[in-house]
Amino acid sequence: MTQISASDIVLLGEHHDHPVHHEVQSRVVDDWVARGRRPAVLFEMLRTDQQPAIDAVLASPSPSSDAFRAAVGWDESGWPDFALYAPVFEAALRHRLPIVAAQMPRDQSQALVRNGIDAFARDVPELAPVLGAPVPEAAAAALIDRMRSGHCGRLPESMLPRMAEVQRGWEAWMAHEIAAAVETDDVDGAIVIIGRGHTQRPLGLPFALAQLAPARSVLSVGLLEVPEPEVGPPSAALLALAAGHDLVFVAIEIERPDPCERIPEHRPKTAGEAPPAG
């Protein structure tokens, strides 16, 4: 915990549906405060356009997590059950810490998906230092692989480059919000609640923050899961998951429906196949 609370910015890269990961995040928040720090707590799950609603709850005399949940329309958001995130929101509310939305508004996200990263960099010039920064070829290829494997090889190859661009655009936006939050008066550092897909060097938020907040120290913590406890030297699978993080916390995998089932299988057209009706 000492290492975690000594950084300017700590990224806590979760499996969104793992209750133990959220418990760890809430303890990190408590620990920073116990050490006399007052960080902003930023969430990938909240969009910048929701900030006024968030601030209204924070300004109320006794903000509750239920009021928060309603104000941000959590139940309609598509993120996992609010009960999973309640411990970390409650920790932030208990200590009266700023809660900051990190993700871009939906219309920006849609424009990024539609027009790609170059057009997005022209529309949002403050992100140019990240979006224009050269990405090492191997890292770019690894990101495409990640998009492929993270979606179970079910999405068409032709979609992957644009998906990688979208991922980089989201990360640039979030890094911009984090960099702004740590410069705010009365804020001492940032704790970032985010998916594990955004925390691994050499890309992800560490790359984006290196362009937008180069003077700030960033600690990337991977909240991981393994099928069963490992005794002795870590397995190759665990080492691969841990790669690119400064520190990892490992929990036992939870039971969940196969996420691949949520992604429709892409069937490439074969010669002679009839086009879809309509």
Residue 169 binds to ligand HEM (criterion: CB under 6 A): no
In this chain, which residue has its C-beta nearest to ligand HEM?
150
Beta partners for residue 193, in sequence order: 12, 43
Residue pointed to by tokens 């290829």: 141
Residue 25 binds to ligand HEM (criterion: CB under 6 A): no
Complex with ligand HEM: residue 39 or 197, whichever CB lies closer: 197
Cα separation, 71 vs 59, in Å, equals: 13
Cα separation, 272 vs 173, in Å, equals: 44
Complex with ligand HEM: residue 25 or 103, whichever CB lies closer: 103
Q: Please, what's the b/e burial string for 129-160 (b: 16 or more CB within 10 A of its CB; e: otherwise)?
A: bbbeeebeeeeeebbeebbbeebeeebeeeeb
Q: What share of the chain is helix, strand, coil (3-state, %, to 5)?
A: 50, 15, 35
Complex with ligand HEM: residue 113 or 187, whichever CB lies closer: 113
Q: Which of 27, 38, 151, 201 contacts ligand HEM by CB under 6 A?
A: 151
Residue 148 binds to ligand HEM (criterion: CB under 6 A): no
Q: How far is the CB of 171 from ligand HEM (least distance, A)?
A: 10
DSSP secondary structure code for residue 134 in this structure: -
Could you tell me which stretch among 35-43, 163-171, 212-220, 266-274 binds ligand HEM (CB under 6 A)? Answer: 163-171
Residue pointed to by tokens 């806590």: 12
Complex with ligand HEM: residue 35 or 262, whichever CB lies closer: 262
Complex with ligand HEM: residue 190 or 224, whichever CB lies closer: 224
Complex with ligand HEM: residue 214 or 259, whichever CB lies closer: 259
27-30: list long-range contacts, CB under 8 Å, 24+ apart.
27/1, 27/91, 28/1, 28/4, 28/191, 29/88, 29/91, 29/92, 29/95, 29/97, 29/191, 30/91, 30/95
Residue 166 binds to ligand HEM (criterion: CB under 6 A): yes
Contact 103, 174 (CB under 8 A): yes
> Among candidates 58, 61, 100, 103, which has minimal Cα distance to 79?
103
Residue 263 binds to ligand HEM (criterion: CB under 6 A): yes
Q: Which of 20, 67, 84, 113 contacts ligand HEM by CB under 6 A?
A: 113
Phi/psi of residue 3, nearest 5 degrees: -60, -40
Complex with ligand HEM: residue 36 or 156, whichever CB lies closer: 156
- Tell me, residue by residue from 201 to 240, as one string, x for binding to ligand HEM by CB under 6 A and - for no binding: ----------------------------------------
Q: How far is the CB of 61 from ligand HEM (least distance, A)?
A: 37
Contact 29, 93 (CB under 8 A): no
Q: How far is the CB of 83 from ligand HEM (least distance, A)?
A: 17
Complex with ligand HEM: residue 106 or 262, whichever CB lies closer: 262
Q: How far is the CB of 232 from ligand HEM (least distance, A)?
A: 26
Residues in contact with ligand HEM by CB under 6 A are 113, 146, 150-151, 163, 166-167, 195-197, 259, 262-263
